[in-house]
Structure 1
Amino acid sequence: MAIDNGIEIMNGSPLLGKKVVYFLQPTTDPVGHSAILPALQTGGSISIGGDSIDEQTKFGRVVLPSTNEDSIDLETAVVWGDRSIDVLKNAKHEGNQVKVWRVVIDKKFSWKDGDQQVFPAMFGYGVVDSLDIDDGDDLVKASYTLNIVGMLRDGSFAVSDDQLNALTQLYDFERPGEKSGNFGY
């Protein structure tokens, strides 16, 4: 007789890439210091990788897990005064690690933890593998790879409503004559 254990159907609305942001913090910052949001993130990706032991024996193939090799790749447009570029450059030159968080800032994925609104996040200590700055014809872009010590850890990241608005809106409403000058200058 056939066994029917049922099926589990996954369904829902997909996650937009613009709802995923990355934060950095130098390991040299004192306790209580805030995380840094690198300016104008244009792309990011994580790689959950590693090697396995794959040996052929007289009795057949043996495959065992061996190493975790998680990494994060991020690309940003370079903005004058963006502290994150210096954090990465200094960490690479001085041999320090960088704390990194990948945070999903979509309200439909948030929940309350006490009186704080939290969002799903991954965290790790990263070693700067490379920091590349491209001075092409368009925007100057920085791209970098952080090789994660051990593996990325799942958790949550607190973001207030004011912080969420700052992350998702380019500017606030203003009344005529309230400010002068171009946006972003």
Structure 2
Amino acid sequence: MAETFVDNGVEAVTADPTLAKSIWYFLQSIDEPVGSKAILPSHQTDGETDYGGDSIDEQTKFGRIVMPSTNEDSIELTTYVAPGDKSVEIIKQAKHDGKPVKVWRVVVDKRFATEEQDGDTTHQVFPAEFGYGIVDELDVSDGDDLVEADYTLNITGKLVDGTFPLTDEQISALEAVVKFERPGETTGEPGASK
């Protein structure tokens, strides 16, 4: 019997890659009341999401058996500590109390933005993953340079896909480090109140 020729084609992507600075991580204590804001840790320098886990890998007389076994997702964040940033305190408190924290990994890139309808209102949303993270370890480095916090959140179960709403105004405010000002408009350190 002759074999049938099959050619299903190929698929290729030529878009620019996603910039790492477009990935933002948000935190929230599980003890915050309904309606509370998510916290964007200040000065994120590094973030890493690991979709780990084990598999069953056994050899039999008839060949190898490989099966999925566990999900072991985790998120590791590194940030610089700044006055007013609640994130390190949230992590430290969760570690001491043995409680999880809520964590979101959000792709804040306009190319991925979609819209969701809420009645007559349209909201801009971005792809996100959510999970409850158990703090594995919090390291606060008080070296010669900036104070750095590094922590790993081991996700219970697995990260779940969803969307995260952000307006253009929120994105601009979160991205702004220094804003234009006129002489005499403010006093004190950057970011301080007038």
User: Which bin holds the TM-score, normalised by the shorter protein?
Assistant: over 0.9
Q: How many residues align?
A: 185
2:165 is equivalent to residue 144 of structure 1: no
2:24 is equivalent to residue 17 of structure 1: no
Displaced runs of 4+ in structure 1, greater than 3 A? none
Specify the structure having the higher radius of gyration (Cα): 2
Instruction: Identify the match of residue 155 of structure 1 among 158, 162, 185.
Output: 162
- For residues 50 and 14 of structure 1, the distance between their equivalents in structure 2, rounded to whole angstroms, comes to 27
Identity among equivalent positions (%) equals 57
- For residues 57 and 109 of structure 2, the distance between their equivalents in structure 1, rounded to whole angstroms, comes to 40
2:73 is equivalent to residue 91 of structure 1: no
- Segments of 5+ residues of structure 1 without an aligned counterpart are none
5 Å-filtered alignment, 1:1-185, equals 1-114=4-117, 115-184=122-191
Tell me, what secondary structure is at the counterpart of 1:70?
strand
1:118-147 residue CA offsets vs partner (Å, 9 max, x unmatched):
111111110000100011111110000000
Amino acid at match of 1:152: L
Amino acid at match of 2:172: N
TM-score in terms of structure 2 length? 0.91
Tell me, what secondary structure is at the counterpart of 2:87?
helix
Tell me, what secondary structure is at the counterpart of 1:48?
strand
Query: How many angstroms does 1:184 deviate by?
Result: 4.3
- For residues 169 and 82 of structure 1, the distance between their equivalents in structure 2, rounded to whole angstroms, comes to 15
TM-score in terms of structure 1 length? 0.95
